[in-house]
Structure 1
């Protein structure tokens, strides 16, 4: 029996995925979590072998959860299941230690096959997403722009970012302005989100 954990902040989605997987004779959903902070304890309590993680969850998202599980539960196979078919998320998922990446509008049979494949040690790679990931790999941001944009994504004010990177506030504003232009967005929060989706930060 393949024991599965599902982490998704949408209750209906968790329930639907669990109901679908529990129809299979060789798969049992043994835990459901609303965000990444609950996953490690649920794995310890249930012995789940495969973790289905959504990307965007409150408090601790799926990509960061995958990174932490690589250290704390390296034996657990991770399958990212998300609404967001972004090349950056795709690349970051595998860098974080995931064995597979599926979008939520995939046919049910693909999800079931993916759970079995990652459980057996295989990988689940969507060819179209792999191509998009390669095409998006050229990062237009400079190292400094990536650095200040990553800090801006946390909501830190310019003065705090400037102190962290040992630059003047004016220089930080220039770097943020450049990053906003290169990501074709309206402000630093949108720029950080777009850069993350592309895998640039």
Structure 2
């Protein structure tokens, strides 16, 4: 299988590529140092899989995955991360990402994950899967709706009009969301929910 490695840290990018190249059935056909370069390489070279760091300059790994999905490009994406934020995972699934692995996974685990993805499967590091499972979105559909409108700068009264609710009901939803997210106020609640990908 043909693979592109996208990682902004040169030493790690080189090491990953060299180790993957040692596998009989994996050929690294390109290395990218940022998301934009990765997208260009994928469109030009047509790899089977792109192994991407989640945090990169110009475009993140998730930005690239979303763009590929939008383009209908067949290249499969495997994300490498040091982060275990559930929001990232949910966004990755929506973007059609096939693998979500920790950067410090052993190289043979990465090789196996790539083979599994090449065969049409998915691959998620067990440690990450556990974190994501535990970090389900605590907000109800209505609480998310109210927070999204609050994020646009609407007052409780404006939100009430928009959703055909009373202002008191809207305030209840907001305070529920604030409590669930253990936030200090509505602004803090919006920041926490956004960071976890719970408003998307």
Q: Map of 1:7-18 to 2, 5 A cutoff?
A: 7-18=6-17
- What's 2:32 paired with? 33
CA distance in 1, matches of 2:15, 2:41: 19
- What's 1:64 paired with? 63
CA distance 1:143–1:38, change in 2 (3 Å): same
Secondary structure (helix, strand or coil) at the match of 2:124 reads coil
Secondary structure (helix, strand or coil) at the match of 1:14 reads helix
Shift of 1:74: 3.2
Shift of 1:185: 6.5
- What's 1:133 paired with? 132
TM-score, scaled relative to structure 1: 0.74
Shift of 1:114: 1.0
CA distance 1:146–1:31, change in 2 (3 Å): farther
Larger radius of gyration: 2
- What's 1:87 paired with? 86
Q: Given that residues 88 and 196 in structure 2 are in contact (C-alpha distance below 8 angstroms), is that contact kept between their aligned partners in structure 1?
A: yes
Gap regions ≥5 residues in structure 1: 152-160
Secondary structure (helix, strand or coil) at the match of 1:4 reads strand
Q: Given that residues 145 and 179 in structure 1 are in contact (C-alpha distance below 8 angstroms), is that contact kept between their aligned partners in structure 2?
A: no
- What's 2:144 paired with? 143
CA distance in 2, matches of 1:181, 1:92: 24
Q: Given that residues 49 and 75 in structure 1 are in contact (C-alpha distance below 8 angstroms), is that contact kept between their aligned partners in structure 2?
A: yes
- What's 2:53 paired with? 54
Q: Given that residues 34 and 59 in structure 2 are in contact (C-alpha distance below 8 angstroms), is that contact kept between their aligned partners in structure 1?
A: yes
CA distance in 2, matches of 1:72, 1:6: 20
CA distance 1:41–1:110, change in 2 (3 Å): same
Post-superposition CA distance 1:158-182 (Å, at most 9, x none): xxx43xxxx259989x999997775
Secondary structure (helix, strand or coil) at the match of 1:117 reads helix
- What's 2:75 paired with? 76
Shift of 1:126: 3.0
Post-superposition CA distance 1:13-43 (Å, at most 9, x none): 2112111111112211111222222223201
CA distance 1:107–1:179, change in 2 (3 Å): same
Shift of 1:69: 0.7
CA distance in 2, matches of 1:27, 1:11: 20
Shift of 1:50: 0.3
Alignment: residue pair count: 185
TM-score, scaled relative to structure 2: 0.74
CA distance in 2, matches of 1:37, 1:193: 27
